[in-house]
Structure 1
Amino acid sequence: MSTEAFKKHRIKSNPAEALIAATIGFFVGFAAVALFNVTAKNFKDAMGLDPVQVGLLVAMPMLSGSLLRIPFSAWVDTDGGRKPMLTLLTMAIVGLLGLIALIVAYYPDRLNDGLYPLLLLLGFLAGCGIATFSVGISMVAYWFPQHRQGWALGTYAGVGNLAPGIFTFLLPAALAGWGLLGAYVAWTGLLVLGTLVFIVIGFGAPFFQLVKHGVPREEAIAIARELGQEIFPAGSVLETLAISARNWRTWVLVALYFTSFGGFLALTAWLPTYWREFHQEPVRTAAYLTAYFSILASLIRVWGGSLSDRIGGEKTAMLAFGSVLLGALVMVLAQSFPLAFLGETIIGLGMGIGNAAVFKMVPFYVPDAVGGASGWVGGLGAFGGFVVPPIMGFFVKELGPARGYPEGFTVYIALGVIALLLVWLLQSTRRFYKAA
C-alpha cells in the first residue's frame, strides 16, 4: 500500500517500520536480563548469598519475563502494541536505574541480606524487558498479511533472540573494561536508546490507530482492510484471553512452544554446566558454545518463518521437532566433543525453526484473539525454561555425571515425540477447522 494511502487516513508508521521498532524493542529488552544474570555472582559474593537465594535471584527476571507476557500481549488486542511495549520497556529501565543506584550506594562493602528483597524486586523489573516478546509478536502479526506473517514473525523473533548470544560475547569484555557500574550504565543507555527508537516509529496497525481517531469499528475495519490489514481483534483484554483460552488449539500451541522456546531457554541455562562438567571445557569455551547455540537457533528462526509461509506451519513444525528428536538422540549417545557439538547444532536448528512454525500457526488458528493467544503461548510456553533444567539435574544427581549428563537429554526425546504427535493432531484436523 502506498505511503499516500497511509497519510490520507493519518496512519503513522508502516509494516516495515513497525517490524523494525518491535524488533529493536525486543532486542534491547534482553539487555537488563542478560546483564543481571551474568552479574548475579557479583551480588552473591558481596552479600554472601546461599545457592537457594542465588537461584531465586536469577529466576526473578525469567518469572516476570514469562508471566507478564500473558496480560501485556492481550493488551495488544485493544491498543495495537504501543502502550504495552513502552510500559514494559519503561519498567525494565526503572529496574536498571534502581540497580545502578544500589551499586553506587552500597556495592560492594555495604551490601547485606537486608537489601536482598530489594534486589529481587529490581530483578523482577529487569525481566519486564523480555516480556516484550509477546507484545511485539502480536503487534507485527496485525501489521502483516497472513501470507507474509511467517517471514515477518520469524524475522522479528529471530533477530530479537540474537540478543542473549551477542550479549554473552560482549559482557565479559565490558565488565573487565568498565567494571560493574560502567557495564550497567552502558546497558541502560542501550535500553533507553532502543526505547526512544520505538517511541518514534512504533505504532499499532491501521485498525487500532483509526479507532483512536474516533472512526467507528466497522468503518475502521473496512479502511484497514484496504490498507492491507487482514486480522482484527474480537474484544477487550479479558475477552481476548477468554476467547483464545476456549480454543483447544491454543493449548496445543502452548505445548509445542514449551518444547521449542521453553526448551531453548532451558538449554541456554543448562549447556554451560554441561560443557564444563561433562566435557571439562573451560568456562569461556562453555560460554561461547552456549552463545553459538543461542545465535544459531535465533538466525535459523528467520528462515523457518519463510519456510512456514511456503509449506505451512504444520509441515515446518514436523521438520523442526523431528530435528529436536534427532539431536536429542545424538546428545544421549555423545561421549566425544564432536558428536556433542553435532547434537547441539541439530537441536538448535530444530528449536529455531520450531519457534517460527508455532507463531506462524497462532494467527491462523486464533485469528480473532491473536494477542491473547500469543500471550498464553509465549508466557506459558516459556515455562519450559524453568521446568526442564531441574529434571536434567535430577538425572545427574541419581545417575552420576558420567551417565546423568548425556541421559538427561532423554527429556528432549520425550518432548520431541509428544510435539510430533501434537503437530500431527493439528494437521489431521486442519481441514475441519477451515470448513468451520
Structure 2
Amino acid sequence: MKKKIQLPLQTANLVVGFMVWVLISSLLPFIRADINIPPERIAIITAVPVVLGSVLRIPLGYYANVFGARLVFLISFILLLFPVFFISQASSITDLVIGGTFLGIGGAVFSVGVTSLPKYYPKEKHGLINGIYGMGNIGTAVTTFAAPVIATQIGWVATVKLYLILLLAFALLNFFLGDRKEPRVKTPIVEQIKGVYKNEKLWLFSLFYFITFGSFVAFTVFLPNFLVDFFELGKVDAGIRTAGFIVVATLVRPIGGWLGDKFQPLFILMTVFAGLTIGSLILAFSPGLALYTVGVMLIAITSGIGNGVIFKLVPFYFNKQAGTVNGIVSMMGGLGGFFPPLLLAAIFSLTGSYSIGFMAFSQVSLVSLVLVLWLYYMDEMTLSKEVFDHTGQGILVTDSSGKILSINPAFTELTGYTEKEVIGKTPGILSSGKHDSAYYDAMWKAINETGIWQGEIWNKKKNGDIFLEFLMISAVNDDSDEVVRYVGTFTDITDHQ
C-alpha cells in the first residue's frame, strides 16, 4: 500500500518544498513596504535561495539512495521551520539574505524524488513518472499566486507564519506514510562521482537542465517585480500572470517525460531549444505586453517539456549512479535560475533595457540546440561501433583499391590476425590458393555489376589452417555513385561442411 502512495506523497512534498523556496520573491513587493531595499539589492535577495537549493541537491540525491526518501523529506521539512520563522521576524536586508539562503532546502528536495521514485516503476515509465513528480514545481505558482492575496488580508508576517503549520503537517505525513522499506544504494558518494565525472553526457545534461530549469526558476523569481516595474501592473495582477507562467511550465512537464518515453528523447530536446531560441528572441525586441506574453508562454512550454525529457535521459544513461547524477544535473538547473536575474538586473542598470540579456539567452539556447544535434550524432556513432565490435561475424572494411582500413574483434578471433597486422594490406593475405583466377574474376564482376557478392570461399588463417567461410562483400558508394569502400562479412562454416 505504501509503495502506491509514494508518487502522490513525494509529489506533494515537492509542492510544499517549492512553495517555501519562493516565499521571499513572492512577498517581496509587500516586504519592501516595511524594509527599505534598494533596487540593486532585489536581485540578490530573490536569488540567494537558489544557491543552497542548488548545491544541496547533490547530497540530498545521494542520501535519498542511502537512507530513503522518507527520512530525507522528513528532516528537510523540520530544518525549514527555522529559516521560515526567522524570515517572519526579519527587519533588515541581512535578515532576508540569511533566512532566504536556508530556504534553499525547499528547492533542494527536488533531487530526492527523482532518485527515489524510479525504483518503484519499470524503465519505460521513468520519463512519465519523473514528469509527474516534477509537476511539484507548481508549488512556486501556489505561493506566487496565493501569498500576495493572503498578505493583502493579514500582512506578510502572518502569511509567512502560516507556512510553519504546512511544514509541520508534511513532516508528520512523511513520518507515517513514507516507505520505510525503500531499496537502498550505499555506494560511497566519492566513488559514484569518480564513476561519472569524466562522462561528457553528465555535463551536457547539466548544461541542458541549466538552461531549461534555469529559465523556469529565473522567470519565476524575475517576473513579479519586472511586471510591476516595467509594465506598471498591480502586485496581485503580476502574481497571477507569474503563476500562469509556472502552471503552464509545470503542466507540460509530464508531457515532456511521456514524449521522452515514446520517442527519441534527443529529438524532443532539439525542439525544446529551438523554441527557447525563438521565445527569447521575441523578448529581446522589448515588445508590448501581448507579444511579451506570447514569448514568455513559449518559454514556459518548451522549458517545461525540456525539464521532463532530461530526467528521462538521466536514469537511462546513469542507472547505477542515478542519485548522484540527478543531484548534479538538478543542481546545475537550480544554478541556472540564479544567474539570469542578476545578469538581467546588471544589464538593465547599465543600459536601461533587458534586450541584451534576452538576446544572450537566445544564443545560449541556440548553442544548446547544436550540442543536442552533436550528442545525437555521437550516439548513433557509438551504436554503430558497438554493433561493429560485438557482432559474431568477422568484418573487414577496405578502401576502393582493396587496402584494409578496419577490422572488428570477431575478424581477429576467426583468422588470428590482429588489426596491426592487416591494416594497409589486402584481403589476399587470407588466400588459401584453392581458387583460380576465374573464380575471383567472377566474384568482382558480380560486385561491379550489382554491388554485392555472396558465397562460400576457402581461406587461410594466420596459423596456416584452411577454413571454409560464407562471405558477403558489399560495395559502398558516395553521393556521386562512385565506390569509396568495400565491406566484407564472413562466418566460419567449416564444421557445417
Q: TM-score range by the shorter chain?
A: 0.7 to 0.9
Write the distance in 2 (CA, Å) between the matches of 1:204 and 1:422. 41
Name the CA distance, whole Å, in 2 between partners of 1:358 and 1:307: 11
Native 8 Å contact 1:31 1:167 kept in 2: yes
CA 376–344 in structure 1, closer or farther in 2 if over 3 Å, else same: same
Contact conserved, 2:145 with 2:236, CA < 8 A, in 1? Answer: no
Match of 1:167 in 2: 143
What's the CA shift for 1:308? 1.0
Deviation by residue 1:244-269 (Cα, 9 ceiling, x = unmatched): 32322111000001110011111223
Partner of 1:202: 178
Q: Following TM superposition, by how much is the alpha carbon of 1:356 offset from its aligned partner in structure 2, in angstroms?
A: 0.6
State the 1:396 CA deviation. Answer: 3.0
- Are residues 1:157 and 2:172 paired? no
Matched, 1:310 2:262: yes
Does the aligned pair in 2 maintain the 1:77–1:369 contact within 8 Å? no
User: SS of the residue aligned with 2:284?
Assistant: helix
The Cα shift of 1:131 comes to 0.6
* Residue of structure 1 in register with 2:57 after alignment: 69
**Aligned position for 1:93:** 81
- Structure 1 match to 2:369: 420
Taking a change above 3 Å as real, the CA distance of residues 318 and 409 of structure 1, as seen in their structure-2 partners, is same
TM-score under structure 1 normalisation? 0.80
Mind listing any 5+ residue stretches in structure 1 that lack a counterpart? Answer: 4-12, 104-110, 209-232
Give a deviation string over 1:386-431, Cα, whole Å, max 9, x none.
212233334434443xxx2344321221121121122122222224
Q: Which runs of 5+ in 2 are unaligned?
A: 390-497
**Partner of 1:17 in structure 2?**
5
Amino acid at match of 1:122: G
Q: Residue 33 of structure 1: CA displacement?
A: 2.7
Paired AA for residue 66 in structure 1? S
In 1, Cα distance between equivalents of 2:37 and 2:223: 24
CA contact (8 A) 2:29 2:235 kept: no
1:383 to 312, 318, 335: 335
Q: Which residue type is aligned with residue 198 of structure 1?
A: N
Is 1:138–2:115 an aligned residue pair?
A: yes
Other-structure match for 1:329: 281
Q: Which residue of 1 aligns with 2:357?
A: 408
Residue 123 of structure 1 aligns with which residue? 100
1:264 to 200, 207, 216: 216
CA–CA separation in structure 2 for the residues paired with 1:41 and 1:276: 9
Structure 2 equivalent of residue 186 of structure 1? 162
Judging by fraction of residues, say which structure has more helix: 1
Identity within the alignment, %: 25
Matched AA of 1:84: V
Identify the residue that residue 489 of structure 2 maps to in structure 1: none
Shift of 1:92: 0.8
In the alignment, structure 1 residue 347 sits paired with structure 2 residue 288: no
| Residue pair 1:89, 1:132 contacting (<8 A) in 2 also | no
* Range 134-143 or range 357-366, more displaced: 134-143
In 2 relative to 1, CA 418–302 (structure 1 residues): closer, same or farther, beyond 3 Å? same
The CA deviation at 1:280 is 4.0
Map of 1:84 onto structure 2 = 72
Measure how far apart 1:56 and its partner are. 4.1
Distance in 2 of aligned mates of 1:95 and 1:398: 34
Which one has more relative contact order, counting CA pairs under 8 Å at least 6 apart?
A: 1
TM norm structure 2: 0.71
Higher strand share: 2
Letter in 1 for 2:58: I
Q: Does the CA-based 8 Å contact 1:150-1:357 persist in structure 2?
A: yes
CA distance in 2, matches of 1:180, 1:277: 20
Question: Which of 1 and 2 has greater Rg?
Answer: 2
